[in-house]
Structure 1
Amino acid sequence: MKFFNDDNEEKKDGFLDIEKKVEELENKILNSSHINTEDMNKGKVKQVSKVSLKEVEPGIGNTTNYYGEGPKKCVGCGKEMQTTDEKTPGYVIDIEKQDYCLRCFKIKNYNRLVEQEINDKDFIDILDNINKEKEKIRYYYVVDIFDLPGSRLEWLEKLISSKEVIILANKVDLLPKSIKNKKVLEYLKDYFSNSVLKNSKIMLMSSIKEEYVFNLILELRSVNYDQYIIGISNAGKSSLINSCLRLNQQIPSIVTSKYVNTTLDKIKINFTKDNYIYDTPGLIKHNHIAIATAPSFWDYFFFQKEIKQVTFQLLKGQTIFYGGLAWFSFEEGEILNDKNKVVKTSFHFYVNKRMPLHRTKSLNAMSYFKKHRQSLTPRLKDISLGFKKNEFYFDKNENVDINISGLGWINFKAYPGMKLSITVPKTEFGVIVKKLKPLI
């Protein structure tokens, strides 16, 4: 991704023409590699995707097509393969030769998303049907520790509450190492205390650390009835299953990426012949700030490295920008020291390490945004989007987190008379901005 100044249009147009030609050439190579895998000397790129033939023991691992029942499905996303419509999920050139659909093939090998129509209602129907199939079911409900408000769905919790549920709080390895697991568990128990799942077992989880994955494998292999892993898109469901497969000396075949809805249908994974789990589609994060940006910026929102703490000492009337997306303003409130001088207030921003933060005056916030919105990163995909201002007033001393879905959270010590605001882009379903008890 390249960025240009508006005062050099001729150079900008020239680079855009080159980029367009490169993209066309890349698409040509991608399509040729997906169509034919017989002769690399003819300019074709071999597609390696024969997952089911590589497992040491037949019937173990990704068994999506193992029993040959019904139409062939993509082993990466679980969608039924078809050759008629390139704009819908499951599209392939040759059903016989390929195990991955074109969409998964591009994501897996080139980290590129093929834009396709994905019906959110289909995902809800799948989960609803699962609940009606059998009486004995265990659900693994995956939530993102960095976006608890945005990764929870209360209607889904009610839907699965009549069954056995284990809550998997994922990505805990990315929290600062100073935070003890015991404290995180206590925090999560309190967080779910008002949920219908308040009595469910909670497990801290990571797809990177083997000790967490091993504990999950033990749970998965402890029962021989239907188990389903469910949750919001990008909470890390498929990554957890791939890590379990890898630690179980099997092939991590499920496609994972920064894109939403990578898994499109149920995928059956056998850890032994008697112990299996279904990976299910993730529901779209409607309230996530990434919805307001282009997919090329999504690396700024989904955490893959330890979270970064950035501390600002602020006076009232100062604002902190998150790239070109949103901003936090310290509007009112002062603390005086013994000499009757104003003391700055500390605000700790817990963000993705790639996220740029910039300080400016609150009076200049909107003019700053309008002036730099084309050059700031990450930025809005539609510059005509309006904004919503979320205001917070405090009348007592308390330690507080304010969570912004997709951006992390801000920790500070509030006091009487303090007024803060967080301005986020207006989206169809709104970006969740919520006050929480402090995690750290």
Structure 2
Amino acid sequence: MTLDTKKPPHCAGCGIALQSEEQEKPGYVPASSLNKEEAVCRRCFRIKNYNETSNVAVDQDEFLKLLGGISSTDSLVVHIVDLFDFQGSLISGLQRFVGQNPVLLVVNKIDLFPPVTNWNRLRNWVQKQAREEGLKVADVVLCSARRNIGFDRVVEAVNAYRQGRDVYVVGATNVGKSTLINRLISDYSDLERELTVSRYPGTTLDAVHIPLDDGKSIIDTPGIVYAWRMSEIVPRKDLASLLPDKPLKPMTYQLNAQQTLFIGALARFDFIEGERQSFTVNVSSGLTIHRTKLERADDLYAQHRGEMLSPPAKEDLDEFPAWTRHRLRIAPNTKQEVFISGLGWIQASGKTGAVVDVHAPKGIKVMLRESIHS
């Protein structure tokens, strides 16, 4: 491979421009490896081989500038979202960036839902939620990149809508973009190339162009970092507890008014008013839920935060954003749930209605939505 001396080589894993001068900056690679074909930066090497990472930030304006260029192209836009964190990972403003290009919405991580799930009903739910967020989609495909479930349908949809064009892949951090692209590469290209895949947000740092056999490209864009997602603010050592990697096991609690549920030290759910009813909590099995009376909740948190109530651990809570209270009114005879971005959701029984307070770190998206199981 002949390198263009006017343009620095780029990491084959994350796409960042390579440099050998400053070890603490993005794209560092030893000088001896700088001009190697398919070279990877030190950060990608450590993520892939040792599951390590480093605190590297890329300017958010650069992300938006990159997305803004899509409208001037003739491309298929594949938007990957995380079904577990749908409202947290959907790029609601994507429509203004893509222009007239079709958008294929790929909904990843369906392996977290039970096999008996009504997938047609779930697909309809996704379409309705996307429409309410202002996103027009040509089609919706459900899949699990990790488990290779439904991937044949993703390839069929890409074939149907690509029509010989480039493919831009966009999404928030940690929704499974790189895992999915690696599968697309194996189907569309003979390249022996693999993008860096990690549980850590922001693994891809710049646009990565992967040439296809027909002369077009798959363009993997950097993940948009949304600070309203719990996964963006927890200590990295707690991500394994926060992000489920096996089917959810909903926990149902029969609560009277004036009772509280703590989800570790990440959030608190207060049932303020309403008849005795059930609330079903859908979060990672790596998190522990504690129930108490509302009158004891403040004292319980003060005494056990970071220990019995964890994660985060006590030494990390001083750096954690203070909680903000959100009051939500669940209407009677509706199927609604409380959604906490990056953490999960709590489904109300839906018969008599309820008033609830949700305490979550400041800035985290908390909202009422139509039940995903409705």
TM-score, reference length from structure 2: 0.89
One-letter amino acid of the counterpart of residue 301, structure 2: F
One-letter amino acid of the counterpart of residue 17, structure 2: E
Offset, 1:195? 4.3
| Matched position secondary structure for 2:19 | coil
Matches within 5 A, 1:36-435: 68-69=3-4, 70-94=7-31, 95-97=34-36, 99-132=39-72, 134=73, 136-210=74-148, 212-221=150-159, 223-246=163-186, 251=192, 253-334=194-275, 344-375=276-307, 376-379=309-312, 381-383=316-318, 385-416=321-352, 418-426=354-362, 430-435=363-368
Change (3 A) 1:436 1:373: same
1:383-440 alpha-carbon deviations (Å, 9 max, x no partner): 26321111112442222111110111111223456211110012xxx11111111111
| Matched position secondary structure for 1:282 | coil
Aligned mates of 2:254, 2:372 — CA distance in 1? 21
| Matched position secondary structure for 2:154 | helix
Aligned mates of 2:273, 2:44 — CA distance in 1? 50
| Matched position secondary structure for 2:203 | coil
One-letter amino acid of the counterpart of residue 302, structure 1: L
* Conserved? CA contact 1:394–1:415, under 8 Å: no
* Conserved? CA contact 2:70–2:98, under 8 Å: no
Offset, 1:382? 3.8
Bigger drift between 226-235 and 293-302 goes to: 293-302
Alignment RMSD, CA only? 2.2
1:133-153 alpha-carbon deviations (Å, 9 max, x no partner): x2x111001111111111122
One-letter amino acid of the counterpart of residue 283, structure 1: I
Q: Say how many residue pairs are matched.
A: 361
| Matched position secondary structure for 1:169 | strand
Change (3 A) 1:395 1:166: closer
Aligned mates of 2:351, 2:153 — CA distance in 1? 42
Identity %: 29
Aligned mates of 1:383, 1:328 — CA distance in 2? 21
Gaps of 5+ in 2: none
TM-score, reference length from structure 1: 0.77
Offset, 1:246? 4.5
Aligned mates of 2:330, 2:45 — CA distance in 1? 51
Offset, 1:366? 2.0
| Matched position secondary structure for 2:349 | strand
| Matched position secondary structure for 2:20 | coil
Offset, 1:111? 1.1
| Matched position secondary structure for 1:305 | coil
Aligned mates of 1:195, 1:377 — CA distance in 2? 33
Offset, 1:217? 2.5
One-letter amino acid of the counterpart of residue 435, structure 1: L
1:348-398 alpha-carbon deviations (Å, 9 max, x no partner): 111112111111221122221221223233117342632111111244222
Offset, 1:78? 0.4
1:257-278 alpha-carbon deviations (Å, 9 max, x no partner): 1211100111122442445311
Bigger drift between 181-190 and 268-277 goes to: 268-277
Offset, 1:223? 2.9
* Conserved? CA contact 1:266–1:278, under 8 Å: yes
